Amino acid sequence: MEWKVSDQLIAYPDALAFMERRVADIRMGMAEECVWLLEHPPLYTGGTSARAADLLEARFPVFETGRGGQYTYHGPGQRVGYVMLDLKKRGAQDVRKYVRDLEEWIILSLRELGVTAERRAERVGLWVAVANGREDKIAAIGVRLQHWITFHGVSINVNPTLSHYAGIVPCGINEHGVTSLAALGVDAPMVDLDAALEKNWGKVFQP
């Protein structure tokens, strides 16, 4: 397993090209599995369920992807985790379980930073309860599989510019908002989240 962390902003097409190559190489037995933690410059991505009406204002570049889900935002201050695993080799050919495992990985990691992130049966992603019964999304999940090898993955808001979400209806959900560690009053640098993610990886995903 390769654990890869990039300190510089990674262009989305470059990240996608890397994932596609790695997935092909994993399938051929020419590369090991990989988790890649990175940040992107400001951009929007649309998943396979994205609705045109949910792209309100294309204020940043828009990339149509093959991952599941709808529109989301990526940008500085958001930790993106691209996960490339061979579920067939792991004997775990269950997409729903894989998504729940990604959720559990994030839940455990954010708990170490003092944030309680929760699942909602009717909504993908992880949510934080805020005032007046409102719930804001702190982490998004969108995955794709080829021959049971995963790619794309998760995004967790550390300290992004939340107003950048205004150009889309995030994940097609109007009635709830988005939040970040910083917005919740948690002053945690990216390296602290990275350490928590690495620490909790093995608690969810066995070697």
What is the DSSP secondary-structure string of 87-131?
TTTTT---HHHHHHHHHHHHHHHHHHTT---EEETTEEEEEEE-G
Q: Dmax over Cα atoms in the chain, in whole Å?
A: 52
Q: Are 103 and 141 in contact (CB under 8 A)?
A: yes
Distance CA 144, CA 160 (A): 25
H runs (alpha helix) in the chain: 12-27, 95-112, 190-204
What residue type is 21 in one-letter code?
Answer: R
Distance CA 188, CA 100 (A): 25
DSSP state of 55: B
**Residue 204 structure tokens:** 């969810």
Q: Is 34 a catalytic residue?
A: no
> Which one of 171, 178, 181, 196 is the catalytic residue?
171
Active site (catalytic) residues = 171
